């Protein structure tokens, strides 16, 4: 347990230290935040992470390439598919595997469904953070449908292990497309319902507008990515800026905020779900027939070399840096996780606000602790 720098020095009579976490309802996992408070106003903040560090990177060095994919599921259990993707893409790039067209489209569809799943859960959790207990039930109504679809395809509801090196284990279910169509038909309306229920609520806008303002330059300097960065007004989305897979073929908008406050980050996520639905619609229409898995050698032994692949996960840029020495096991793997950088900016945007704002700001950063701790 690390002491915050301000714990060492003497604090003034009016200030006191409050430990938020490691067990706290709104740290969403085992995260400890040391707050220095003056009444209810935050005057100092120090995040202490690492409570559930499990040394995934070291474990990966002792596993064969095809055994590592499930580990990436567990880094961020909420958008597991995207994390699979960055990993298998790294191996595929090292080995020079070309995916069949159908597999690429299937990957896009699963990844976007996964993004919707993750954002819906974030929406529910954020509602709980600000004291609205009802939104979760409405969001989970749709989230269950999405999970059912992905479950039908992969067999998993949370950690799907959806992707294999070279493609997929099985093809899409027969009724997948019809279910998807039925889901997308009503999803647009449902997003409007969520916005009416929580995002546009008077109390919520009063609580989030102008709170936790993160400006563009600070965001980039801290390596913040994903919806948080876009909320600050940077139109940066790896699906557009460094298109991977077949994303360049889709027509979608990069949603951005204006002021970089908490509300903008909420709005960006809501809009992103709309865009995801748009991508899904296009992908379902464009889905070609054919193989769903490339020819992959039985023993996976990439050539020696280094690679860094990154995807736009629900939380931002997730990257896998992999060093291969030509054996069956990776020499070194580094996971670059978005929440890690997103959390590091918390101190910058929280000082001077209230305890309740800390919770709201943290909720708007959409942290997942296992990927910070790894």
Partner 1 sequence: MNFQEILEKIKTKHEVLESKEDLGVLNAYIATAKIAAVAAFMKDELKFEQLNFITAVDFPANNAIEVVYHFFSYETADSVVLRIKLDRAKAEVPTISGVFKTADWHEREASEMFGIKFSGHPDLNRLLLPDGIESPLRKDYKNPDMTPLPKA
Partner 2 sequence: MVELILFYAFAALIIFSAVLLVTARNVFHGALYLASTLFGVAAIFALSGSFFLAGIQVLIYIGAVVVLLIFVINLTRQIAGSSAAQVNEAVVPALITSLLTITLIVLAVLKTDWATRIGKSVAQTEAMDNTAVIGTQLLTNFAIPFEVVSVLLLAALIGAIAIVSRDKEAGK
Partner 3 sequence: MALLKELLYNSGKPLSEFSSWMHAIWAGWGMPGFLLDFIFQLVIVLAVTAVLVLNALWIIYYDRKISALMQIRKGPNRVGPFGLLQTLADTVKLLIKEDVNPKKIDILSFWIAPLIIFIPTFAVFLVLPFGNGLVPADLNIGILYIIAITGLSVIGILAAGWGSNNKYSLIGGMRSAAQIVSYEIPMVLVILAVVLMSGTMKMSGIVAAQSNRVWFVVPQFLGFIIFLIAGNAEVNRAPFDLPEAESELVAGFNTEYSAMKFAFFYLAEYTNLFLTSAVAATLFLGGWQGPFLPPIVWFFIKTYFVITILCWIRWTFPRIRVDQLMEFSWKYLLPLALLNLVVTAVILKF
From partner 2, partner 3, partner 1, none, which one binds at residue 59 (CB under 5 to 8 Å depending on kind)?
A: none
Per-residue mark of binding to partner 1, 214-243 (x: CB under 8 A):
----x-xxxxxx--------x-x----xx-
* Bridge partner residues of 15 (DSSP): 38
CB closer to partner 2, 18 vs 206: 18
List the single partner that 13 binds among partner 3, partner 1, partner 2, none, CB under 5 to 8 Å by kind: partner 2
Q: Is 357 in the site for partner 3 (CB under 8 A)?
A: yes
Structure tokens at 246: 């077949």
- Could you say whether residue 356 binds partner 3 (CB under 8 A)? yes
How many chain residues touch partner 3 (CB under 8 A)?
A: 30
Omega of the bond prior to 22 within 30 degrees of 0, cis?
Answer: yes
Tell me which of partner 2, partner 1, partner 3, none is bound by residue 234, counting a contact when its beta carbon lies within the kind-specific cut-off of 5 to 8 angstroms.
partner 1
Nearer to partner 1, 117 or 365 (CB): 365
Does 323 help bind partner 1 (rule: CB under 8 A)?
A: yes
Q: Which is nearer to partner 3, 83 or 138 (CB)?
A: 138
Residue 359 sits in the site that holds partner 3 (CB under 8 A)? yes
Residues 6+ apart with CB under 8 A from 90: 307, 308, 309, 320, 321, 322
Binding region for partner 1 (CB under 8 A) out of 22-30, 152-160, 168-176, 318-326? 318-326
Q: Return the residue of 2, 55, 131, 290 that touches partner 3, per CB under 8 A.
A: 131
Q: How far is CA 235 from the centre of its chain?
A: 17
Q: Can residue 138 be called a binding residue for partner 3 (CB under 8 A)?
A: yes
In the numeric block, which tokens belong to residue 23?
């067990």
Total residues contacting partner 1 by CB under 8 A comes to: 42
Q: Is 308 in the site for partner 3 (CB under 8 A)?
A: no
Among residues 3, 54, 137, 221, the one that binds partner 3 under rule CB under 8 A: 137
The item of partner 1, partner 2, partner 3, none sharing an interface with residue 137, based on CB under 5 to 8 Å by kind, is: partner 3
Interface with partner 3 (CB under 8 A), residue from 75, 90, 150, 204 = 204
Q: Which of 34, 45, 75, 94 binds partner 1 (CB under 8 A)?
A: 94
Q: Which of 113, 146, 198, 280 binds partner 3 (CB under 8 A)?
A: 198
* Closest CB to partner 3 among residues 138, 176: 138
Q: Give me the residues paired with residue 318 across strands.
A: 311
Give whichever of 17 and 197 is closer to partner 1, judged by the CB atom: 17
* Residues sharing a CB contact under 8 Å with residue 99, sequence separation 6 or more, in sequence order: 92, 107, 166, 167, 245, 294
Nearer to partner 3, 184 or 356 (CB): 356
With respect to partner 2, which residue has the nearer C-beta, 43 or 245? Answer: 43
SS3 for the chain, per residue? CCCCHHHHCCCCCCEEEEEECCCCCCCCCCCEEEEEEECCEEEEEEEECCCCCCCHHHHHHCCCHHHHHHHHHHHCCCCHHHHHHHHHHHHHHHHCCCCCHHHHHHHHHHHHHHHHHHHHHHHHHHHHHCCCCCHHHHHHHHHHHHHHHHHHHHCCCCCCCCCECCECCCCCCCCHHHHHHHHHHHHHHHHHHHHHHHHCCHHHHHHHCCCCCCCHHHHHHCCCCCHHHHHCCCCCCHHHHCCCCCHHHCCCCCCCCCCCCHHHHHHHHHHHHHHHHHHHHHHHHHCCCCCCECCCCCCCCCCCEEEEEEEEECCEEEEEEEEECCCCCEEEEEEECHHHHHHHCHHHHHCCCEHHHHHHHHHHHCCCHHHHHC
Residue nearer to partner 1 on the CB measure, 262 or 342: 342
Q: Which residues sit at the interface with partner 2, rule CB under 8 A?
A: 13-14, 16
Closer CB to partner 1, 125 or 368, in the complex: 368
Distance CA(319)–CA(299), nearest Å, equals 24
Q: Is position 137 an interface residue for partner 1 (rule: CB under 8 A)?
A: no
- Residues in contact with partner 3 by CB under 8 A are 16, 18, 24-26, 40, 127-134, 136-138, 141, 197-198, 201, 203-204, 206-207, 354-357, 359
């Amino acid at each position: 347990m690390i002491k915050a720098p301000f714990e060492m020095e003497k604090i003034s009579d009016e200030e006191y230290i409050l430990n938020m976490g490691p067990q706290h309802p709104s740290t969403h996992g085992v995260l400890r935040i040391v707050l220095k408070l003056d009444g209810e106003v935050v005057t100092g903040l120090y995040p202490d992470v690492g409570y559930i560090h499990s040394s995934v990177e070291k474990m990966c060095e002792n596993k064969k390439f095809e055994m590592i994919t499930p580990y990436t599921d567990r880094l961020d259990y909420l958008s597991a598919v995207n994390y699979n993707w960055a990993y298998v893409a790294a191996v595929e790039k090292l080995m020079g595997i070309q995916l069949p067209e159908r597999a690429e489209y299937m990957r896009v569809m699963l990844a976007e469904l996964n993004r919707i799943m993750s954002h819906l859960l974030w929406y529910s959790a954020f509602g709980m953070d600000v004291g609205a207990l009802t939104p979760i039930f409405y969001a989970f109504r749709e989230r269950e449908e999405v999970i059912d679809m992905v479950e039908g395809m992969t067999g998993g509801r949370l950690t799907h292990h959806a992707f294999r090196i070279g493609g997929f284990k099985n093809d899409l279910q027969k009724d997948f497309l019809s279910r998807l169509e039925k889901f997308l038909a009503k999803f647009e309306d449902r997003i409007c319902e969520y916005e009416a229920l929580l995002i546009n609520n008077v109390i919520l806008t009063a609580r989030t507008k102008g709170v936790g303002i993160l400006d563009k330059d600070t965001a980039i300097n801290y390596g913040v990515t994903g919806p948080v960065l876009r909320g600050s007004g940077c139109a940066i989305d790896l699906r557009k800026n460094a298109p991977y897979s077949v994303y360049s073929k889709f027509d979608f908008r990069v949603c951005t905020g204006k002021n970089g406050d908490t509300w903008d980050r909420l709005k960006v996520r809501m809009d992103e779900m709309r865009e995801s639905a748009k991508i899904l619609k296009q992908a379902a229409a464009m889905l070609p027939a054919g193989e769903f898995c490339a020819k992959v050698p039985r023993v996976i032994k990439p050539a020696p070399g280094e690679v860094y692949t990154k995807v736009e996960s629900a939380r931002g840029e997730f990257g896998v840096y992999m060093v291969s020495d030509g054996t069956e096991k990776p020499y070194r793997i580094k996971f670059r996780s978005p929440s890690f950088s997103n959390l590091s900016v918390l101190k910058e945007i929280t000082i001077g606000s209230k305890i309740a704002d800390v919770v709201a700001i943290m909720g708007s950063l959409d942290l997942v602790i296992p990927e910070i701790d790894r």
